[in-house]
Amino acid sequence: MDRSKRREIFAKIPLDTNVLISHGPPYSILDRTQNGEHFMSVGDLELLGATERVRPQLHVFGHIHDGYGVATPGLDTTFVNAASTQIKGEYILGNPPIVIDI
């Protein structure tokens, strides 16, 4: 899906959203994955813009297994990459659940 279509979809997120759930991460937040010997950010730049606009209390996503964890990068939002599997030649359950109190 192209950027303008994603921007149009993300523009529909209401400003009073407290918890945002998406499949993948916003750009540069818990989105780093290994590409050969290097790590790179692969999150969605349009989703980052939407998150900055809406500022939900919590944004939960997965998809990028290497990015598992919690981050609060200076925004009003706690970001959770809840990817439950690790890739070690194959997908295995290996990441514990993340509990967030709201």
The pLDDT of residue 55 is 96
Long-range Cβ pairs for the range 77-80 (8 Å, 24+): 77/51, 79/25, 79/26, 79/29, 79/30, 80/30
Residue linked to tokens 């991460």: 25
Name the residue ranges covered by the structural domains of the chain: 3-93
Beta carbons of 24 and 44 less than 8 angstroms apart: yes
pTM: 0.89
For residue 50, report the phi and psi dihedrals to the nearest 5 degrees: -65, -40
DSSP string, 46-68: HHHHHHHHH--SEEEE-S-GGG-
Mean pLDDT of the chain: 91
Kindly report, residue by residue over 47-90, the tens digit of the pLDDT: 999 999 999 999 999 999 889 999 998 768 999 999 987 666 66
